[in-house]
Amino acid sequence: MPYRSPVSDYEFIFDHIVPMADIAATERFADAQKDVSDAILAEAGKLSDDILAPLQRVGDLNPARLENGVVRTAPGFAEGFRALAEGGWVGISADPEYGGMGLPMALCTAVNDMMTGACISLQLCPLLSQGQIEALEHHASDAIKDLYLPKLTSGEWTGTMNLTEPQAGTDVGALRTKAEPNGDGTYSISGQKIYITYGDHDFGGNVCHLVLARLPDGVPGPKGISLFMVPKYIPDENGNPGVANDLRVVSLEHKLGIHASPTCVMEYSGATGWLVGEEHNGMAAMFTMMNNARLGVGIQGVGIAEAAYQHAVAYAMDRKQGATKLEGGKGTIIDHADVRRMLTSMKADIFAARAIAAACASAIDLTTATGDATHRARAALLTPIAKAFGSDVGIAVSAEGLQIHGGMGFVEETGAAQFSRDVRITSIYEGTNGIQAMDLVARKMMDGGEAANAIFEEIENHAEKAKGQFPDLAEAVWSACETVCETTEWLVAQGDLNDRFAGAVPYLRAFARVLGAHYHLKAAMTGDATRAKLARFYIERLLPEHVGLCAHARVGAAGIYELSADELAA
C-alpha cells in the first residue's frame, strides 16, 4: 500500500501539543513561523511519499553488496539520496553560514520521522551526516569547518561515526585504534571499526569518517580517547576529493533488517586524519553526535511504527475472516474487538512517542536559542526517554502489525515482516535501551531529580486544569504522575546505583507512559472528538501499566542476584 507521511499529525502537535510558536518566538528561530513550518512538513511529506517510499521494498530485496572493495547500493538509492540532498534536507537544521537551513531540531525530527517511515535504509545516510555536522559545528577547528561543513550540509559528501570495535562495544574506553602524530598537524590512524553505517556507498563525493582513537600518551579508558576526521579521499588544495586514504571496507554485515543500508567493517591502516576538538577529549565531541543520533533513532522507531500501522489498517479494512455482530461494521477483521484493540493501541502509542520526541527536540531548540539551563536539563532528561520509548513502540507496533496480518504476516511478500526486521535494531544501536534507562536513573538524576520534578509539576498542573472538562481522565493522569514522582524520589534516595539500575527499564517505561498520557490529555483538551477518544483509550487502558512498572522499579537489585550465574546457566 502507498505510504502517507503524517503531515497532519505534526501540524496538530506543533499547533497544540509542543507549540512551534514557542520556538519561533526566539530570535534564533524567528523564521520558523507557522507558514514556514507547514510548508516544510508538506514538502518533506511529498518527497517521502513519492520518492523514498517506493525504494523501501526494493532495498529489502536488493541488499547492499561489496564488489572488489566497492560498495554497491540498491537500485534507485543513489537517485533517491540525490533528490534528498538537492532538496536541502540533509542540512535542514545546520548552520546557514555553511549552507544549512538553520531550522529547528523539532522540524528536523518531524522530517526524519517521515523519511524513516518511507525508507529507513536510505534515511540512515543523512541521519549520520546530520549528527556529524552538529559535532563539527561544536568541536572542530575553523579550518575543518570551512572545508567539510559546506559539503556535508549540501549532501555532496556524507558522514559516519566510528566508535565500536570487536572488543569494545558499549565500553568504548576499551578501544585499540591508535593515532600517531605525523609531525605536520596530521595523524596516522590504525585500527578496525565495526557496525559503521554507510561506511561506503556509490552515491559519489567523499565519505567522511569521525574516528575515535588513542594517542600514544592517552591514558587507558574513555578519558584518553581523541577524535579524528578521516576522509575516504584526502582533499586536495582546492578542497576536492584527491588521493585515496589508507582505509577500506573489509566486509558488510549480513543483518536481520535494513538490508539496503551498508553496515561496514572498516580497516584503517595508517590513514591520514585530523584532530577534532582537544586531544584526549574525543568522547565529549562524539557524545554531541551520539545525542543527536539518539533522538534520531527514537524517531526512527516512531516512523517505522507509522508505516507498519498504516499497512496493518489497510489489511484489516480489507481482510474478511469470521463474522462479528458489530452494527454498521465493515464486514472485515477490523470489526473484531481484539483487532480493534491492537490497532487503537498502535495509534495511541505512536502519538505518545511522537509527542515525546517532539518535546525533546523542542527543548533542544530552546536550549540552542536561549542557553537556558532549565531547557538544557529537560533536553538531557528527555533524550533517553525519547530514544528508548520511541524504539520500543516501533518494535511493539510492528509486531502487532504482523499479528493483525495473521499467517500472511509471516509471508514476506505482504511486506509486514520487513517493518519488524528493520525496526529491531533501533533498541540496540546508539546505546541499547537498557543503557538509556541506566543513564536516566544515574547521570540524569545527578540533580536530585530536579529536572524530572519540573516536568511532573507541569503535568499535574495541567491535569488540574483539565478536571473541569475531563475529570476522570485528568484525575488518572494526576494520580499516575504522583506515583512516578514518588518512584523518582525513591530512586534518587538509593546510594547503591545497582538498586537504581535493576529497575531502570521499567522506570523509564513508566515515565514515558505518564508523558504520553499528558500529551494525550492535552490533545483531548483541544476539542477534537477523535483525539479525545484516543486519549480516553490510552489513559484508561495503557496508562495503568505504570503501577506495575513503578512497583518493579522500587524493588532494588537484591532479587536480581538471587539466582547465581551457574543457576541461570543450568
CB atoms within 10 A of CB 496: 11
Single out the residue of 268, 249, 175, 184 nearest to residue 215, CA to CA: 175
* d(C-alpha 429, C-alpha 161), whole Å: 12
Which of 134, 306, 430, 460 does the annotation list as catalytic?
430
CB atoms within 10 A of CB 143: 10
* Terminal Cα-to-Cα distance of the chain (whole angstroms): 48
DSSP symbols for 131-156:
HHHHHHHHHS-HHHHHHHHHHHHHTS
Report H helices in 221-336. 282-318
Task: Indicate the pairing of strand 207-214 with strand 158-162.
Answer: parallel
Tell me the three cell numbers of residue 431: 546505546
For residue 204, the 8-state DSSP code is: S
Phi, psi of 355 (to 5 degrees): -65, -40
Give the start-end residues of each E strand in 61-116.
Answer: 65-67, 70-72
* d(C-alpha 396, C-alpha 559), whole Å: 27
Q: State the amino acid at position 206 in one-letter form.
A: N
**Residues near 517 by Cβ (< 8 Å), separated by ≥ 6?**
352, 476, 477, 480, 538, 539, 542, 543
**Residue linked to cell 541506566:** 438
Asked if residue 356 lies in contact with residue 385, where contact means CB atoms within 8 angstroms, the answer is yes
What three-state secondary structure class fits 198? coil
Buried b (16+ CB within 10 A) or exposed e, 306-329: bbbbbbbbebbeebeeeebeeeee
**Residues near 374 by Cβ (< 8 Å), separated by ≥ 6?**
451, 454
Is 430 in the active site? Answer: yes
Tell me the C-alpha to C-alpha distance, in Å, between residue 516 and each of 294, 328, 348, 435: 19, 31, 9, 21
* d(C-alpha 457, C-alpha 481), whole Å: 9
Q: At 250, which helix (H) or strand (E)? A: strand 247-252
* d(C-alpha 305, C-alpha 258), whole Å: 15
HSE, side-chain direction, 13 A CA sphere, residue 276: 34
* d(C-alpha 233, C-alpha 244), whole Å: 4
Q: State the amino acid at position 351 in one-letter form.
A: F
Asked if residue 273 lies in contact with residue 86, where contact means CB atoms within 8 angstroms, the answer is no
**Residue linked to cell 533513532:** 297
* Residues noted as catalytic: 430
